A = this chain, B = another copy of it.
């Protein structure tokens, strides 16, 4: 079975209006730049995007927001984005804010076939509203449901034609979790290598979780907060 796609346009060709997408990355670190560009080009709309952040005004998911392609964001933090704020305040955009660890674990739950997980994050806060609270060993936990996404779109450092992925540094973040969680997982990689070249002990995401893979082009890898030592 061929998992190899030529480019992002082909890999995302069947994503339609109203799809639920997971997009890997933390801030602008480890985001699937090629797929985002292809989604903007395709102009698909009414998307629900599960992603830790919403990019900045002119990069990352911010590019999709500019084109009003996003109906709903499910994120843990959405600062640094004026267009996002405008759409939110005008009611064009729906936002669900959830704790970062809950976001990560709800992805993992989907990938691990667990329908729900218990976490203490948000107990006693407005995040707990409408959710089941349960006490285990004297501590309260919230029941949080596994995500159910049509597509997971992730970015890896290296990948092979069988879909095995290796991430680099903190660009790993949500990518391997979302890769496990999508009904269809699309991986863009900086370096596509022939099958057999990756050390099987170094693989972060086994190919079984990846349905489509392609080598991305022209990575900008923008830095959000350049901070240097003197």
- Whether, in the assembled complex, A26 has its beta carbon less than 8 Å from a beta carbon of chain B, the answer is no
Residues of chain B within 8 A of A169, CB atoms compared: 200-201
Interface size class of A (residues with CB under 8 A): 20 to 34
Distance of A97 Cα from B6 Cα, bound (Å)? 49
Given the complex of chains A and B, what is the CA–CA distance between A113 and B121 in angstroms?
11
Oligomer copy total: 2
Does B118 lie within 8 Å of A136, measured CB to CB? no
Question: Measured between C-beta atoms, what is the minimum distance from A47 to chain B in Å?
Answer: 23
A 104-124 binary contact with B (CB < 8 Å = 1; else 0): 010000001111111110000
A residues with CB within 8 A of B: 105, 112-120, 136-137, 139, 141, 145, 166-169, 172, 200-202
A24 to B113 CA separation, bound complex (whole angstroms): 23
Contact assessment for B202 and A167 in the assembled complex, using a CB-CB cutoff below 8 Å:
no
Decide yes or no: A201 and B167 within 8 Å by CB, A112-B105, A114-B117 being known contacts: yes
- Chain B residue numbers with a CB within 8 Å of A120 are 113
A115 CA to B166 CA in the complex, in Å? 30
Q: Which of B115, B117, B201 contacts A137 (CB 8 A)?
A: B115
Partner of A168, one of B113, B115, B116, B201: B201
